[in-house]
């Protein structure tokens, strides 16, 4: 734990955790999270991995900026933390150089959204209180990231549903135009609309839009 870190500064860090990912999960927010972790721990280096999904790959940010996720190899303590959902650490080295590795999972609802890894060389390790504080920071950040992802997914779903509804409306309108024009029923009009779309190799919605707006015959 950074001995110069006072209670007020620590409280401000916790408050900021609820803000930095409120709009999006991006490089700037992850970099700020890493800065807070380094400041709170007093260690020199670190890296944060935030797992991606089918649409966005993993985001990896280190002390020097963004890291290429394709070539990034997660430290063993990080892999363990992702698996156990617990803080993990290791100590290695020799008589002249000692390495301290720590990993704090970004955990929420029984899963890990990523992991914060911190590295220290030949400096005192993070004490028990510091480990508890850093895991709390990770948990708060994970909760905010999860909420942001859920809001973004909800917005995407609303957009998709609205698009589907708009498509359905314009198709029904086009069917009405064709049925009135050709004095046929709605099922025949729909078959005609679908046949025209196939002939022109265009989406049914696109052809329907042109018919409704008088662009297509």
Do 45 and 147 fall into the same domain?
Answer: yes
Do 74 and 176 fall into the same domain?
Answer: no
Of the three residues 153, 169, 202, the one that is the final residue of a domain is: 153
In a domain, 148, yes or no: yes
The domain spanning residue 179 has which CATH number? 1.10.10.10
Domain coverage including residue 55: 7-153
Distance CA 83, CA 71 (A): 21
Domain count, the chain: 2
Do 61 and 142 fall into the same domain?
Answer: yes
Q: What is the pLDDT of residues 23-76, one digit of tens each?
A: 777 888 888 899 888 888 888 889 999 987 655 678 899 888 888 877 788 889
Q: List, in sequence order, the alpha helices (H) in the chain.
A: 7-17, 27-41, 76-84, 128-182, 186-200, 204-212
In a domain, 51, yes or no: yes
Per-residue confidence of the chain (217 residues) as pLDDT tens digits? Answer: 555 566 677 677 777 777 777 777 788 888 889 988 888 888 888 999 998 765 567 889 988 888 887 778 888 999 999 999 999 999 887 777 888 899 999 999 999 999 999 988 867 678 888 888 899 999 999 998 888 878 877 887 888 788 788 788 888 888 888 888 888 888 888 888 888 888 888 888 888 888 888 765 5
In a domain, 2, yes or no: no
The domain spanning residue 81 has which CATH number? 3.30.450.40
Distance CA 128, CA 4 (A): 16
In a domain, 188, yes or no: yes
Do 38 and 125 fall into the same domain?
Answer: yes
Exposure class string for 90-127: b at 16+ Cβ within 10 A, else e: eeeeeeeeeebbbbbbbbbeeebbbbbbbbbeeeeebe
Instruction: Give the angle 165-166-172 at the CA atoms, nearest 5°.
Output: 90
In a domain, 1, yes or no: no
């Amino acid at each position: 734990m950074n001995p110069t870190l006072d209670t007020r500064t620590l409280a401000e860090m916790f408050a900021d955790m609820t803000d930095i990912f409120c709009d999006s999960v991006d490089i700037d927010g992850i970099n700020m999270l890493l800065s807070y972790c380094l400041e709170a721990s007093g260690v020199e280096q670190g890296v944060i991995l935030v797992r991606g999904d089918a649409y966005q790959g993993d985001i990896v940010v280190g002390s020097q900026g963004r890291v290429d996720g394709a070539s990034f190899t997660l430290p063993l303590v990080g892999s363990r933390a992702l698996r156990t959902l617990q803080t993990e650490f290791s100590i290695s080295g020799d008589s002249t150089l000692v390495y301290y590795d720590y990993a704090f999972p970004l955990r929420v609802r029984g899963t890990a959204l990523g992991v914060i890894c911190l590295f220290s060389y030949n400096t005192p390790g993070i004490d028990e209180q510091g480990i508890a504080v850093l895991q709390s920071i990770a948990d708060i950040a994970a909760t905010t990231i999860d909420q942001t992802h859920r809001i973004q997914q909800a917005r995407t779903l609303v957009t998709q549903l609205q698009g589907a509804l708009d498509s359905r409306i314009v198709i029904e309108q086009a069917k009405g135009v064709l049925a009135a024009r050709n004095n046929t029923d709605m099922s025949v009009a729909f078959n005609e609309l679908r046949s025209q779309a196939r002939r022109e190799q265009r989406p049914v919605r696109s052809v329907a839009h042109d018919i409704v707006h008088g662009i297509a015959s």
